[in-house]
Amino acid sequence: MEAETTTYTFGPHKIDRSLVFYSTPLSFAMVNLRPVLPGHVLVCSRREVKRFVDLSADETCDLWLTAKEVCGRLERYHEASSLTFTIQDGPQAGQRVPHVHIHILPRKSGDFENNDEIYEAINEKEKELKEKLDLDKERKDRTSEEMAREADEYRALFL
């Protein structure tokens, strides 16, 4: 998919390419350190851009074409029937990592008792993620191996 030398960053954080399961020259899709639901992934711009409006037209199109490329496969793989797409664009919208990213979540009937709790869960997890990453602590909900294994599964969906 990408050259050995390719690097990915998410805000101030370096992302190991074993966690990236799909990429283009302008965007990449990665598994999530603390997913809210099975298949909860992030689609990010390659360039570190804080706000959605700062993406170029090419980056905007590529980001969402990447999301479209990814979302149907994830929905089928997780036997879901709907999807939630969200950009929390800026701190007052719940954005914790200042780098444009789409949350994609495969949804099923009854996955959250109250359908809207999912957003609360996203924010809570993203907050934890930032704390984790900022503090550079080693505590994790998932191991790198577990995450890389999930990325392998998703990478296979594109073969």
Q: Which residues are catalytic?
A: 101
| CB of 7 or CB of 81, closer to a copy of itself | 81
Pick from 31, 38, 40, 14: which is nearest to 99 by CA? 14
Question: Would you count residue 107 as binding a copy of itself (CB under 8 A)?
Answer: yes
User: CB under 8 A: which stretch of 26-34, 47-55, 130-138, 140-148 binds a copy of itself?
Assistant: 47-55
72 binds a copy of itself (CB under 8 A): yes
For residues 128 and 34, give the distance between their C-alpha atoms in angstroms, rounded to a whole number.
8
Q: Is 96 annotated as a binding residue?
A: yes
Please, are residues 52 and 87 in contact by the beta-carbon 8 Å criterion? yes
Q: For a copy of itself, which residue of 13, 34, 78, 108 counts as binding (CB under 8 A)?
A: 108
92 marked as part of a ligand binding site: no
Phi then psi for residue 9, to 5 deg, are -125, 150
* Residue 18 sits in the site that holds a copy of itself (CB under 8 A): no
H helix or E strand, kind and range, residue 135: helix 117-135
Residue of 113, 116, 138, 145 interacting with a copy of itself (CB under 8 A): 116
- Is 113 a residue that touches a copy of itself (CB under 8 A)? no
Residues 24 and 62: beta-carbon distance below 8 Å: yes
Its sign, for the CA torsion 51, 52, 56, 59, is positive
- Residues in contact with a copy of itself by the rule CB under 8 A: 52-53, 55, 57, 60-61, 63-65, 67-68, 71-72, 80-95, 105, 107-109, 111, 114-116, 118-120, 122-123
